[in-house]
Structure formats: structure tokens, C-alpha cells
Amino acid sequence: PPAPVVIDGEPKFKIARIIDSKLDHQRTCRLLYKVFWLGYEDTEDESSWLPATELKHAAELVADFHSAYPGKPGSVEIFNSYIS
């Protein structure tokens, strides 16, 4: 897999795309996104669920996801409320 990119002193891995969203009412950030990691294809780590608050750097991918899947939980507006 590719090495992480360092953003604000923290290692960040590149997201290839967002593949799903869900609401989890037991978490502080209820809106979660399933991300597909670049370079981890066909491994057990190829995707994982992340809270919207951890995806500020991926706002364009979130917008693309909601444009393609408007019926999925969340929206660009709700996402923006979590990252602002």
C-alpha cells in the first residue's frame, strides 16, 4: 500500500472513494461513511467506517457520493454541519 500523507502533523491514508453511509445513534458523530482505501484493494483493510468528523479533507468525495446516491443516509449539508 502507498505510504500515508502527513496532514497537520498526522498521517492520513488516501481514500479512493466512499462506498456507503449510515447513521449510528449511539455515537457522538452519528453520520458514518464507509471508505475504500487507495492501495488496499483485495485486502481485509480495503474499507472501513469513519465518522463524518474525520473526513474534512475528503469533502469532494462526500459530495460525489451523495450526488450518486441521494437516497443514502446523510447529505452534503449534514456532512458540512459536522465538519464546520
What is the tally of structural domains in the chain?
1
DSSP state of 40: -
CA atoms within 13 A on the CB side of 61: 20
Query: Which segment of 7-16, 28-37, 38-47, 66-75 scores lowest on mean pLDDT?
Result: 7-16
Cα distance between residue 46 and residue 24, in whole Å: 21
Residues 15-28, mean pLDDT to the nearest whole number:
95
Cα distance between residue 72 and residue 22, in whole Å: 7
Condensed to tens digits (0 to 9), the pLDDT of residues 35-47 reads 999 888 898 989 9
Domain that holds residue 29: 5-83
Cα distance between residue 3 and residue 46, in whole Å: 14
Name the residue type at position 47.
Answer: S
The CATH number covering residue 70 comes to: 2.40.50.40
C-alpha cell at 26: 449511539
- pTM, two decimal places: 0.85
Query: Which segment of 20-24, 43-47, 73-77 scores lowest on mean pLDDT?
Result: 43-47
